[in-house]
Amino acid sequence: FVFFFLSSVLHRFIAKPCALGLKVQANGPQKAQPNAILEKVFTAITKHPDEKRLEGLSKQLDWDVRSIQRWFRQRRNQEKPSTLTKFCESMWRFTFYLYIFTYGVRFLKKTPWLWNTRQCWNGYPYQPLMPDLHYYYIVELSFYWSLMFSQFIDIKRKDFGIMFTHHIVTVTLITFSYVTNLTRVGTLTLCLHDAADVVLEAAKMANYCKCQKLSDLLFLTFAIVFIVSRLGIYPLWILNTTLFELYEALGNFPALWVFNILLVILQILHCFWSYLIIKAAYKAIAKGKVAKDDRSDIESSSDEEETAPRSKTLHSTATTNGTGGANGTNGYLTGGTCSEDH
């Protein structure tokens, strides 16, 4: 609840004024024109009508099929947040990640296990829980709990399931390591993960401000930091000590296997995201700018600017003279998607 309160305060009194000062677009996607019949279908039946239903609505309303498709696309987009809302969300996360990463670095540089991971297991399980470590854990755990719940009300992404799995694994890992006093290696894992997230949120904010060059630079920086930290340092530093050094120091015990299984699941998620990041970075190099993310939350098409429904007569004429097929088979759009942020 504290994080939800802090988030709302930052959104209203800090992030929103900053966004308006940077001329971030406050308007959301174009709204669909009011239509009682289509609204009833949208809310009560389906948000993605099939070909048969589209034809039926076309006859009922005397609209052509493409206009009805456009209406449903605009109506779906209408529920998406504005760029201003997304900027505020990214600014909140950037603020938290920057604070907690800075705190983690300042805390860890004073600890012996940062420089020698074998120190994570000296005296285990009778290791004192220092106040700084306790605070670090509680703040991180609270934040990820808030992320897990806010994911249902925040901007929806195509990788919702993957992100939800990530949040569950993260919360479980933090809780399990705290209960079993595996907190020393836990602090290393937390700090390592926060490093890339700071740059990612900064890249998003730059993108929302339409600072394309800065956004591209930050995204490429994020790609390097993410891949080096998650595919290089994480397995060679974290997994090495939990899979081998921990076993050598303490032998086999049940918590070891549970802990390592969760860490390996996290590494699988790292590999999946790294694939998406490398794909985007390759497009950035090939096309001269960062390609936009596949996790689109706004639908678009080449005829999005056409807002008034056309009559069935126009639709028939277009189909007869062969131009209807340019935008889809038998007058149906081959709908595409686009994205606003990395």
- Find, among 101, 121, 103, the residue nearest to 113 by Cα: 121
Q: What is the pLDDT of residue 155?
A: 57
Q: What is the pLDDT of residue 1?
A: 67
Q: Which CATH architecture has domain 30-79?
A: Orthogonal Bundle (1.10)
Terminal CA-CA length for the chain: 29
Q: Read off φ and ψ for residue 338, nearest 5 degrees.
A: -140, 170
Tokens read off for 252: 């086999």
Q: What is the pLDDT of residue 342?
A: 38
**CA gyration radius, the chain:** 25
The Cα–Cα gap between 83 and 155 comes to: 11
The Cα–Cα gap between 289 and 287 comes to: 6
Give every residue of the chain whose pLDDT is below 70, as ranges.
Answer: 1, 4, 27-29, 152-159, 288-342
Within 13 Å, how many C-alpha atoms sit on residue 192's CB side? 23
Q: Where in the chain is the domain with CATH 1.10.10.60?
A: 30-79
Contact (CB, 8 A) for 117 and 236 = no
Q: For 45-96, what is the HEC assignment? A: CCCCCCHHHHHHHHHHHCECHHHHHHHHHHHHHHCCCCHHHHHHHHHHHHHH
Structure confidence by residue, pLDDT tens digits, 294-342 = 444 444 444 444 434 444 443 443 333 333 333 333 333 333 333 333 3
Q: Read off φ and ψ for residue 107, nearest 5 degrees.
A: -70, -45
- Find, among 99, 263, 91, the residue nearest to 173 by Cα: 263
The Cα–Cα gap between 335 and 342 comes to: 21
Q: What angle do CA 331, 334, 339 make, to 5 degrees?
A: 140
- The pTM of this model reads 0.74
